[in-house]
Amino acid sequence: MEEQITTQLVNRLKSIEGHVRGVERMVENAESCIDVVNQILAVQRALQKVSNMVLQHHLHTCVTTAIRDDDPAERERVIREMMALFEAAMR
């Protein structure tokens, strides 16, 4: 990955890590269940954003390269990989 995208992802993940620690403190302090759930949902959305960023980078680099490759086996491998990812996401 390029340094810029890596830096962005690491910064987002560090922020998420801090947010998770905040949720942990909320649970330890017996804060409102609704507030805890809302914070968990925020963490999940943030993780989804990171996942989307990684997938977008993968599509623009690795997948594009494989699809343009002359090796049909490599193209099929990447298609299978992406299909497995989409299937996992749908569960």
Report the CATH number at residue 63: 1.20.58.1000
Residue 1 pLDDT exceeds 80: no
For residue range 11-54, what is the model confidence (pLDDT) as tens digits? Answer: 999 999 999 999 999 999 999 999 999 999 999 999 999 999 99
What is the number of domains present in the chain? 1
pLDDT of residue 17: 98
Question: Residue 43 in contact with residue 16, Cβ under 8 Å?
Answer: yes
pLDDT of residue 76: 92
pLDDT of residue 12: 97
pLDDT of residue 14: 98
pLDDT of residue 28: 98
Residue 91 pLDDT exceeds 80: yes
Residue 67 pLDDT exceeds 90: no
Query: Could you tell me the residue range of the domain that residue 59 belongs to?
Result: 3-90
At 56, list the tokens.
């977008």
Angle between helix 33-58 and helix 3-28 axes, rounded to 10 deg: 170
